[in-house]
Amino acid sequence: MSQEIQLPELGSVGLLRYGWRQLTSMRTALILLMLLGIASVPGSLIPQRTQNPIAVGAYFKDSPELSKWMDRFFLFDVYGSPWFSAIYILLFISLIGCVLPRTIEHFHAMRALPPPTPKNLNRMENYSKWDATGGELVTARSWFKANRFRILEQEGTISAEKGFMRETGNLFFHLALILILLGISFSSLFGMRGEAILNVGERFVNTPTSYDSLTYGKLFKDGKLANFIVTVDNFDAKYNVLTNAPEDYTLNITLQQGDLSIREKRVIKVNSPLTIGSTRIYLQANGYSPVVTVRDSEGSIALQGPIPFLPQDGNLRSIGAIKAPDANPQVGFLGSFVPTYARSNGNGAISVFPQALDPRLLLSVWSGDLGLDSGIPQSFYRIDTSSMQQIGLKSLKPGEVFEYSGGSITFEGYLKWVNLSFVDDPGKNYALLGAIVAILGLLASLFTRRRRIWIRCGSEIEVAGLAKNAAPGLEQELHKLIRVLKGEI
Amino acid sequence: MSRNWAYLSNYLVYSSMAVYTISFIAHAIETAWAIKIPNASSSQTFDFKRTEKVARIATAMMVLGFLLLFAGVIARGISAGRVPWGNMYEFSITGALAFSGAYLAALRKYDVRWLGLLISIAVLLTLGTAVTVLYVPSAPLVPALKSTWLVIHVSAAIISGGVFLLANAVAAAYLYLDSMESKGERTPWAKRLPTLEYLDQLSYRLVAFVFPLWTFAVIAGAIWAESAWGRYWGWDPKETWAFITWVAYAAYLHARVTIGWRGRRAAWLCLFAGSTFLFNYVYVNVWGTGKHTYSGL
Ligand code: HEM
């Protein structure tokens, strides 16, 4: 170590202050904003766990080594990653540190008078002079007043200023950005979001165990889950017969709130969620649950009920797994449900329409160890068949039974299921308010110009003007003023 | 009934393509004549009267093409019983409409007629792709699109897009003429184009003009997402790229207003920002995943 880098004498307080000033400069804020833009790119190109866990799984399967490395850099969770959070938290701090002092400064500047008229107006770019005819000062004063300039009058001169809306709007814009960020943080601390798949006819009691997945903010309390019960009465899907595309989904439910004694009928549609207090319920997805009964060799029931299957295409060909761990030996069925059956050459059974016009359940039956006791979490829709044996293959119509060695399975029919999201997002109104203020502030700051105009009246009239940021339009304005002063208009 | 409207719409779209083609040819002739001004090297100022008549035809055809396309888009909407923004074919024809509309609107105020060559070919290529690759029969909306926000959000986004692309065309012209001037004098045909400074200002004004609208489009999208999907922001690829476009244009405006960028650097930044918009349209609709996959591809 021969030479230390020479820093200015700052001391620790000085260094902190220096750092703070750097962080809260507009330049830093902008760089952070750019960084946030750049940092959001990978998440749009690489599948994200929060949006597409299945694609992430496929990634891991295809290139396990690479995926492991990518995962270390949170590339499958970009928007929740420490580095992404670091950028926006810094941006947040930077914005606050930058905008608050400016707001105070601007507040003072707005109430201050414009600075006095400079001595040498002829140095200004937009300068003109002509011989006085008298009364110009009075005319100028009333013109400035009529055009809402703020003026300072001194010894035969007027200094006028206008366009504070630019900075005001600008500050409002930036303050609004802070409000949006606050709204988002508020939601992530106090909000909650849960998902549940419900078959038609089922009841949902709003307790943590009813959810398939439930996440809540650090400051959201368990006891705060709203008190309600939802019963799925009916789900109706309409499809276009030409394109097979869905046209309308209507979900009818019965809602019980509060002391649960009142039952109300309600409708949920894709663009109109149900609002219960601060919780909203959204219709997200739907599909079919084949209803099956599995019996063992003695005829006693090992499993009975609807099993939700996962849609694979627009015609709702769905796959799923039926697991009967209570059978002896254990038995599992890998299934495919097609609502409107057709045979394709090559692909086996396909569905040709999303409505259940001619439903089939196609099963492969596996016997052996389902691996449910291994402690490794298992997919609801898959079976690990590595220690199992295939003992049958069958396509069933509703009501049909398939007997295999060691038992039977009956395809009783099907139910529709709906996937509901339950969301409590207490910060969203602040974010919305912030967004509205941001637009208004932006408009005000983009479309107003801050400028000063001076006039000095003696034997000659001198007029000059100056626009901040060389904003256009000052020339015309001056021209107009001059014509007014000369009595031309 | 709705079938007939759909046929009518296709018919109108094809007619508008024919008219845009005429406009393109007229613009091309105008440019060619301007190139072949006699004694170009000897005189400093040129008289473009000869090309003026053709240029007027070109603009008139552009207006007619716009009207036909407008009618075509409306008929498409009537045939489906909704606003015509349900799939990528419809986004494309409406986008082409917005683009040429932005040009014609700018033409009333600014000297941008020379851009017509670029505009007409871009519109033709967009419409050509739309009718050949992207076409899908007219059909009602999928449930997620059934919302008034479709009208608000998509119209704001499409109009912003049209103006952004126009600003890009101006910025590209700037770069082209700038490199031409740096090699010496402008070639004769380019002498009738506006000054570099004018182009520089024009692309800035276009961006400054629609940036608030784009902000609004993004926010309207967020409000819609809240009612359709249960969250107003989820970093879906489409949302992410809308944000990136927004950041890129904010950078452009700041670079100009606060740092004072002008000329080449500003033009490149403008082109970059516009390309994030295009990328969003093409990549996310065609290859992307996420919730915004209504493109019908
Ligand atoms: C430290 C924080 C920031 C400060 C002090 C700041 C300051 C400014 C100033 C002074 C202007 C107007 C230029 C003028 O007319 O004098 C401006 C405009 C603008 N700012 Fe910022 N800015 C900051 C951060 C940001 C951020 C983070 C964004 C975006 C999210 C942003 C977006 C804009 C936009 C879009 C404009 C309009 C450009 C224009 O005036 O033409 N700013 N900002």
What digits encode the pLDDT tens for the residues B2-26? 677 888 888 888 888 888 988 888 8
Question: CA-CA-CA-CA torsion for B159, B163, B165, B169, nearest 10 degrees?
Answer: 160
Strands A360-368 and A407-424 turn out to be unpaired
Distance CA A385, CA A438 (A): 56
Over residues B268-291, the pLDDT tens digits come to 999 999 999 999 888 776 665 555
Q: Are residues A301 and A394 in the same domain?
A: yes
Q: Is A457 in a helix, a strand, or coil? A: strand
Name the residue at shortest CA distance from atom 8 of ligand 1: A170
- Give, using CA atoms, the residue closest to atom 33 of ligand 1: B250
Task: With respect to residue A182, please indicate whether it lies within any of the assigned structural domains.
Answer: no
Tell me what the pLDDT averaged over chain B comes to.
82
What pLDDT is attached to residue A291? 96
pLDDT of residue B34: 67
**A193 to chain B, minimum CA–CA distance in Å?**
9
Do both A273 and A293 map to the same domain? Answer: no
Q: Rounded to the nearest whole angstrom, what is the distance from the C-alpha of residue A157 to the centroid of ligand 1?
A: 34
| Closest among B248, B238, B251, B240 to B272, alpha carbons compared | B248
Q: What is the DSSP letter of A261?
A: -
- Here the ipTM equals 0.77
Residue A138 lies in a domain: yes
| Residue A226: DSSP 8-state | -
Assess whether pLDDT exceeds 50 at residue B44. no
Is A7 part of a structural domain of the chain? Answer: no
Same domain, A386 and A298: yes
Do A430 and A384 belong to one domain? Answer: no
Q: A181 in a domain, yes or no? A: no
What average pLDDT does the structure give for chain A? 86
Q: Which of A167-171, A279-283, B38-42 has the lowest mean pLDDT?
A: B38-42
Kindly determine whether residue B219 and residue A52, on different chains, have CB atoms separated by under 8 Å: no
**Residue at A342 is within a domain:** yes
pLDDT at A354: 92
Q: What pLDDT score does A378 carry?
A: 66
Same domain flag for A374 and A430: no
Q: Per residue in A234-275, pLDDT tens? A: 999 999 887 788 888 999 999 998 777 888 999 999 888 999
Range with lowest mean pLDDT among A21-25, A136-140, A477-481, B59-63: A21-25
Q: Is the pLDDT reported for residue B115 higher than 60?
A: yes
Give how far A79 is from chain B: nearest CA, Å. Answer: 7
- A218: domain range? 188-286+421-436
Instruction: Identify whether residues A397 and A457 lie together within a single domain.
Output: no
Asked if the model's pLDDT at residue A202 lies above 90, the reply is yes
Q: Is A448 in the pocket of ligand 1 (CB under 6 A)?
A: no
Indicate if the pLDDT at residue A11 is higher than 60.
yes
Does residue A170 form part of some domain?
no
**Does A175 fall in a domain?**
no
| A3 vs B: CB within 8 A | no
Which of B212, B230, B240 has the CB atom closest to A282's CB atom? Answer: B230
Band (pLDDT 50/70/90 cuts) for residue B49 is low
**Residue A66 sits in the same domain as residue A148:** no
Calculate how close chain B gets to A239, using CA atoms only, in Å: 9
Share of chain A above pLDDT 70, in %: 96
| pLDDT given at position A471 | 61
| B254 Cα to the center of ligand 1, angstroms | 6
| pLDDT (0 to 100) of residue B291 | 59
pLDDT interval class at B43 (50, 70, 90): very low
Nearest-angstrom CA–CA distance, A151 and B137: 65
The preferred substitution site among B214, B254, B259 for testing ligand 1, maximizing ligand atoms within 8 Å of CB, is: B254
For A261-271, how does the pLDDT look when each residue is reduced to its tens digit (9 = 90+)? 888 999 999 88
Burial class (CB in 10 A: 0-12, 13-18, 19+), A8: exposed
Residue B162 DSSP SS3: helix
Q: Which residue has the tokens 């035809």?
A: B57
Q: Does the pLDDT of residue A8 top 70, yes or no? A: no
> Would you say the CB of residue B250 lies under 6 angstroms from ligand 1?
yes
B113: pLDDT confidence band, cut at 50, 70 and 90? Answer: confident
pLDDT of residue B46: 52
Find the helix packing angle between A164-190 and A82-111, rounded to 10°: 140
A89 pLDDT more than 70? yes
Q: What is the mean pLDDT of residues A403-415?
A: 92
Share of chain B above pLDDT 70, in %: 87
Give the position of tokens 């930044």: B269
Minimum-distance CB partner of A55 among B137, B215, B289:
B289
- What are the Cα distances from residue A25, in Å, to A11, A328, B183, B197, B255? 21, 71, 40, 31, 15
Q: What is the pLDDT of residue B47?
A: 55
Residue A229 in any domain: the answer is yes
Among the residue ranges A22-26, A265-269, B177-181, the one predicted with the least confidence is A22-26
What's the number of domains chain A is made of?
4
Alpha carbon of B237: minimum distance to chain A alpha carbons (Å): 5
Lowest mean pLDDT among A1-15, B102-116, B255-269: A1-15
Q: Cβ distance B141 to B81 under 8 Å?
A: no
Does one domain contain both A296 and A264? no
Statement: residue A87 has pLDDT above 90: yes
Q: In terms of domains, do A54 and A104 share one? A: yes
**Helix, coil or strand: residue B121:** helix
Q: What is the pLDDT of residue B41?
A: 47
B-proximal residues of A, 203-242, CB under 8 Å: 240, 242
CB-CB under 8 Å, A44 with B235:
yes
Residue B73 C-alpha from the chain's centroid = 16
Give CA angle at B243 (B237, B244), nearest 5°: 90
Q: Any idea of the CA torsion for B145, B146, B151, B157, to the nearest 10 degrees?
A: -10
Q: Which residue of A has its CA nearest to B224?
A: A271
Q: pLDDT category, B295, cuts 50, 70, 90?
A: very low
Q: Per-residue confidence at A289, pLDDT binned at 50, 70, 90?
A: very high
Asked if B141 and A242 come within 8 Å (Cβ–Cβ), the reply is no
The whole-number pLDDT of residue B36 equals 59
Residues A383-402 have a mean pLDDT of 88
> What average pLDDT does this structure show over A12-37?
81
- Comparing A14 with B23, the larger pLDDT belongs to B23
Instruction: Give the Cα separation of A267 and A279 in Å (integer).
Output: 16
What pTM does this model have?
0.78
Same domain for A145 and A198? no
Whether residues A406 and A313 fall in one domain: yes
Strand partners, A257: A228
Residues A406 and A425 in one domain: no
Spatial separation of the C-alpha atoms in residues B208 and A390, rounded to whole Å: 67
